[in-house]
Amino acid sequence: MDDIEISSISQYIDIIEELQKTYLASSILNNPAITTLIFRGVCDGDYPLLPSVFRQDIVPFENTQIANDKYTSWASEEVLLKSFIAEAVRYIKDIPPQNLCKWAEHAQHYGVPTRFLDWTSNPLAALYFACKCDDDKNAVVWVLHSINYQRFSAVHNKKMQSSDSKENLAIEGTISCDEIINRLLAGKPAIDYPIIYTPYYADTRMSTQSCYFMVWGNKKEPLEKLIPQENYMVYQQKYENEDHSTGIDQDGKILLKLVIHNDRKQSLIRQLDMLGVNEKSLFPGLDGIGRYIERKYRFDYDELLDHI
């Protein structure tokens, strides 16, 4: 599959508009009130779509390599989350300690490793997060067809339930997120494939970033490996006077990868700032304002060369 490279915001928006026309919420009627596509921006395009709690450090040793769990070598996932609750409960007073799902949402936003992965319904926010790191790595915006993925995960999680007659396993839509999280943290069967849900926006950042969460199940694999290649969306540029291929095999298409070359990051960040997408809009508060001022007036020699 050839990479689709993004060089400008106008091109980026054109691609998203074309995907929305090609891959509808329904093959019969496109409901504008339904969020069909959600996005995740990643500064390093080689980074897998995998929650932080499952990440590993690969250490060379003699003639081989050893994979060490980055965050759960010394403690379990449950210990990590409950350590956050013990410290944060004096600041966040309206969540019962046993509501692990809500605590995990807050933990995720404050940097604690969890089995959650952030997505957004705002494509410009995703592009900002992809480009915000100044480094020599190519960035990526992942595009996920949320409706098709929910169908895909529901089918696979139901298969998991039917294959185990000894336990009453959870399937998507039948028990609460909190129950699922409790079971997963306890090491009990719950779901195999990640599920998507929209949190209540109790935190301002969740609202400004149009947040969605994907909660991983028992399969501790990157999403791009869990979804077969035949289920990837295909972008075909629409030329003037050419009809869309709307509805053709659209139901099973789920994921698409858009690449941003590292030398385009700074230019795209400037373009996004003109549209009001920046640190101070995505991170309300003094820390966001401070980071916005720092970036706005930062001198970048490579950026200067682009204008000569």
Indicate the pLDDT class of residue 28, thresholds 50, 70 and 90: low
DSSP structural state of residue 239: P
Least confident of 43-52, 170-179, 272-281: 170-179
Separation of alpha carbons 197 and 69, rounded Å: 27
Give the rounded percent of residues in the chain with a pLDDT score beyond 90.
Answer: 38
Burial (CB < 10 A; 0-12, 13-18, 19+), residue 273, is middle
Indicate the pLDDT class of residue 250, thresholds 50, 70 and 90: low
How far CA 200 is from CA of 112, 144, 184, 207, 248, in Å, comes to 19, 21, 21, 9, 35
Separation of alpha carbons 178 and 185, rounded Å: 10
State pTM to two decimals.
0.84
Q: What is the pLDDT of residue 7?
A: 92
Alpha helices in 143-233 (DSSP H): 146-162, 177-185, 204-208, 223-226
Region of 121 (left: φ > 0; alpha: ψ -120 to 50; beta: rest) is alpha
Q: What is the pLDDT of residue 109?
A: 84
In a domain, 19, yes or no: yes
How long a stretch of residues is the chain? 308
Q: What is the pLDDT of residues 66-96, one digit of tens each?
A: 667 888 888 888 899 999 999 999 998 888 8
> What token pair was written down for 267?
């230019």
Separation of alpha carbons 292 and 164, rounded Å: 52
In a domain, 75, yes or no: no
Burial (CB < 10 A; 0-12, 13-18, 19+), residue 33, is exposed
In a domain, 94, yes or no: no
Residue 42, pLDDT above cutoff 90: yes
In a domain, 29, yes or no: yes
| Structure-token match 């609202």, residue found | 207
- Give the count of domains, the chain: 1
Question: Which residue range is the domain that position 292 belongs to?
Answer: 4-51+115-306
In a domain, 81, yes or no: no
- The per-type count for the chain, helices as H runs and strands as E runs, is 12, 9
> What token pair was written down for 84?
């956050």
In a domain, 80, yes or no: no
In a domain, 224, yes or no: yes
Residue 29, pLDDT above cutoff 80: no
Indicate the pLDDT class of residue 304, thresholds 50, 70 and 90: low
In a domain, 72, yes or no: no
> What token pair was written down for 232?
């990837």
Q: What is the pLDDT of residue 170?
A: 45
Q: What is the pLDDT of residues 216-240, one digit of tens each?
A: 998 999 999 999 999 999 987 654 4
